[in-house]
Every structure is written in structure tokens, then in C-alpha cells.
Amino acid sequence: MAVMTYADAAKTTLAEEMRRDPLVWCLGEDLGRGGVFGQYKGLPEEFGPQRISDAPISEAAILGAAVGAAMTGTRPVVEMRFADFALCAVDELVNQAAKARYMFGGQTKVPLVVREPMGMWRSSAAQHSQSLESWYTHIPGLVVVCPATPHDNRGLLKTAIRSDDPVVYMEHKNLWALEGEVPDGDPIPFGVARIARAGTDVTIVSWSATVHAATEAAESLASEGIEAEVIDLRTLWPWDKRAVFASVEKTGRLIVAHESVQVGGFGAEVAATVADALFGKLKAPVKRLGSPRVPIAYAPPLEDMLRVTPAKIAEMARTLVQQ
């Protein structure tokens, strides 16, 4: 069983898929020097500038070219450098890629992967730290993926590249160096959650880097006799309602925790869906935990105030169990 970093797991998968399918290619800023986080290191040397295309600084041009290339038969993997910068190309993604199959009556498809490094990362401040995954779940036609482990970053990226739908693929910057076992290189299907930790007293649903905070909180709670079940959604659209329902039916309590802003966050969708479906089986109100609706600060003490921490998750779980 191989041990890989989160970044290397994706890079390994990308190389495999490019060797397997000559229609897979990459474009984006800084790819010629291996990517801003080194996630393309070594690929320009193997595949050359025709398939690892180093683009000028114009997100709209990059994504617009990729949408056209996808509609004419290739499978582009677009590097947006930061999720925040992808907002410069939101029309190309939301109004073109997401709608093309419907608008053309199924005569075309858009097999496109848009990689958007997301999340807070060592004082990167308000324009380089956002988690915007909830925006894309609102758009019909888009798949939204948020891997939390090296294994998932390998298997989900493989599925994303092979998908015939446009995929917004959001990798947390703070996970690039995370190491973990990667048992195989098989694709992981969309819409199938992972039980990160089994428990019987409270369900904690999360995704991306916050999964690790939730797992740490669960381990802390276990020392107090509270067994929390942690569910990693892996993909936000589609999302695994069946796994969440099964867990909440067992525990009777639900917390949805995510790094993105709590107001209008995808946690509200999970919370409302569970509350509607399992109202009579809940032992306590459904709770959400996310960042406050403020710009992300540069100063570390202020940035830390916005984080969803293991301590915050554990405290909310204790309160629920006592009800």
C-alpha cells in the first residue's frame, strides 16, 4: 500500500489518466514551472507544452478555451490557481459549461475538470482564502467535489477526469502536504460518502479539511464517553443522503461543520434535508457550524477566530448530547 501526499496523489492520477487517454490535457497559469503548489511538477517534461499548456493570466480566457475544447471532444483539466481567482471566469463555468448539454438538447457534452485550490492557508488573507463550494452546488449541471484525504484525491480525480459532466474540483490548500495510505488507484464514485469514524451518540457531517477537525473532535469526545460518527461527504453534488440519513437515524443528533461561511452554506442544505426527512427521529435540533460572514483576516490571531476548530465542534456535540 503506497503512502502519498494529497498533492502527489492527484499528480500521480493526472499522469496516469494522461497516459491512458490522449484527449486529456491541462491548462492554466504557472503549469510550465510545475504549478504554484508543485502539483504539476514533472508533467511538463513528460507530456510537453501541447498537453501541459502554460496559459497567460486571464482566467476567463483559460476557462473559455477549455469549455470550447471540451465541447469539441477533448478532456481539459483546468488549473484555476486559487478558487478566489476562478470568479473571474464564473460566466464561462456557470452560464456556458454547466448549461451546454441542456441548451443543445444533449447533442454536446462538456467533460471538463476545474481544479480550484480552496480554503484558509497560512495568512493568505481575504482574496486567497475563501471556500466557495456552496456557490457551485446551486448551479444545475455542475458536479462539486471536495476530497479530504490523499486516497480520495486520487480516486475522485480519476472519476472527475472520466466524467462527461463539468466538475468543480476543490482541493484544500492546507492539505497539500497531508500524507496518507492510498490502497489503490481505482475511481471513487461520486455521491458516496465515507464514514471517517463510527459512533452512536451524534453524527458530524463535513467535507474537505474540516473532516480532520471533526475526527479530532470525535477522538476527544470519546475520552468523555461520547461516541461521535464522522461522515465525510466527499462530493457535495451529488451528496450521499442515504449515508447521512442512516447515521442520524442511529444517533438522533446532527452537526454539519464546514470551513466556508455558515450563512447560505451547503451545511444548511444538509441540515434542512435531514430535518424534513427525520423530524420525528431527532433527539435534538440540527446544528450547523461554519465561519462567520466576515472577510478572512491576514493576522493569524484574527484568522484563527474564524476557523472551525476541533474544540468548537466538540463543544457543540457535548451540548447536543446533553439535551
Which pTM does this prediction carry?
Answer: 0.96
Task: Report which of 111, 158, 145 is spatially closest to residue 10, judged by C-alpha positions.
Answer: 158
Compute the mean pLDDT over every residue in the chain, rounded to the nearest whole number: 96
Using 50, 70 and 90 to split pLDDT, how confident is the model at 323? confident
Please count the other Cβ atoms lying within 10 Å of the Cβ belonging to residue 181. 11
Task: Assess whether pLDDT exceeds 90 at residue 116.
Answer: yes
Q: Which listed residue (128, 151, 172, 258) is catalytic?
A: 128
Q: What's the whole-number mean pLDDT along residues 126-153?
A: 97
**pLDDT tens for residues 178-221?**
999 998 889 999 999 999 999 999 999 999 999 999 999 999 99
Task: Report which of 11, 17, 31 is spatially closest to residue 74, judged by C-alpha positions.
Answer: 17
Q: What's the whole-number mean pLDDT along residues 106-113?
A: 96
**Angle, helix 6-20 to helix 150-162, in steps of 10 degrees:** 30
* Percent of the chain topping pLDDT 90: 95
Task: Assess whether pLDDT exceeds 90 at residue 93.
Answer: yes
Same topology between domain 2-182 and domain 194-322: yes
Q: How many residues does the chain have?
A: 323
Query: Is 251:243 a contact under the CB 8 Å cutoff?
Result: no
Query: Hunting for cell 497559469 — which residue is that?
Result: 29
Query: Hunting for cell 464517553 — which residue is that?
Result: 225
Beta-sheet pairing, 228-232 with 235-237: unpaired
**pLDDT tens for residues 14-26?**
999 999 999 999 9
Q: What's the whole-number mean pLDDT along residues 284-304?
A: 95
Predicted pLDDT at 36: 86
Task: Assess whether pLDDT exceeds 90 at residue 13.
Answer: yes
Using 50, 70 and 90 to split pLDDT, how confident is the model at 177? very high
**pLDDT tens for residues 306-321?**
999 999 999 999 999 9
CA 94 from centre of chain: 17
User: Could you tell me the residue ranges of all domains in the chain?
Assistant: 2-182, 194-322
Query: Hunting for cell 503506497 — which residue is that?
Result: 2
Predicted pLDDT at 215: 98
Q: What's the whole-number mean pLDDT along residues 32-38?
A: 89
Residue type, 245: F
25 has which bridge partners? 76
Predicted pLDDT at 132: 97
* 128 labelled catalytic: yes
Class of domain 2-182: alpha beta
Predicted pLDDT at 37: 87
53 has which bridge partners? 27
CA 97 from centre of chain: 19
Residue 68 and residue 20: Cα distance in Å, rounded? 22
* Least confident among 97-106, 121-130, 305-314: 121-130
Overall fold of domain 194-322: Rossmann fold (3.40.50)
Residue 156 and residue 185: Cα distance in Å, rounded? 10
* Least confident among 30-34, 134-138, 142-146: 30-34
